[in-house]
Structure 1
Amino acid sequence: MIPASALRVVNVLLNAPSPLSLRELSREARVPLSVCSRYVNELERLGYLRKRPRIKVVNQELVYLIAYGRPLRSLRATSFESLERPQHLIKKIALLAEGRLAYAFTHLAGAELVAPYVVPNEVYLYVEEKQLGEWARVLEGSGMYPSDGGSIHLVVSDLDPFYGAREVRGVRVVSDFLLFADLYSCGGRAREAARFLAQKVGLRV
């Protein structure tokens, strides 16, 4: 099993806008310097990165460590149900969150905004654990109700899914690398969507 701290390092490495020093990587990933150094040495040995002059990913297949190390559907999620179509819910949820709640869409909902491949039948979005109660109040006030078998999933992860997130057509979406990993980890049509995303945005995976 890959430690959560190692996956945070991988996530930062993949999404950092420029090469990092070891100290910067340690700070961004919230991992002790000595532990971060050990991970970097091992990833260099495996051929995923180079350390000098600064740490930089040289093999983007590093993203598969996230896909296999913490599959999206293995993460803790709180689910809700709605009679509205998932495509309509994406914008609606974004508007409900605007200015007060942190979120970032992933899975087919995220792909719908970045590289549409298949119509989403579920909506996955990352949220902050401390805001789950507020999310429940907001969603229930808009006709979305708690349901174990619901199609709206509020996902909590210590990976820091907001690192590298961006706005696409007025909606927050996770980074391309995390979006790829989440799609790929689910198999089936979602994995096909991951491959389409990689082609569309130029990921070398």
Structure 2
Amino acid sequence: MVKEQAGQVLAANLRALRAQAGLSMSELARRSGIAKGTLSQLESGTGNPTIETVFSLSNAFQVPVSTLLTERTAPEVVLVRGAGLDVLSSVAVDLRMFRRLDLQDTVFELYDQRVRPGAVQHSAGHPGLEHVVVTSGRLQVGPPNEPYVLDAGDYVCFPADQPHVYSTADEEPVVSVLLLQYPSDQVVSVLASCVSR
């Protein structure tokens, strides 16, 4: 999806989630820590969301990131061209979401993740588990005080609800696959609680 289409998908999903939860723009700004003006731009499809913005909205609504970024479709064959994907960028990380998978009891989000040298990406935590496979470079990921160092071909899985970091272990960029995993009952109960608020 091109950037303009991705912005329109985010705008539609943001409006729908805010309406379902019965939240004013001011209340969503308070819960997410995002300025009302920025939220207004995102809802109109004219904003330029960062990784932090999308994860803040994910935490505010207590839904997977893919709930904000994807349209629901169920084709038998899915072909996603990386060149057409919108990139969410941050201090050290570029993410491109390939797909959301709703399985019987689990929701997965599949991302291409690139980590740039010279900076550290900090996450305060969010629901689910993170699975990371490094395809090139050396990655430091996990608890801020004792991150795991992964070489190409290495894999790690850790609870995402605690603070964690991403950075390169040397001066070379890192290419990796990120798979976010959420229990679907958590997603359903979270959506129900948003609607009942």
Fold in common (TM above 0.5):
no
Greater RCO, CA 8 A, separation 6+:
1
1 or 2, which has the higher helix percentage? 1
Report the TM-score when normalising by structure 2.
Answer: 0.31
Report the TM-score when normalising by structure 1.
Answer: 0.30
1 or 2, which has the higher strand percentage? 2
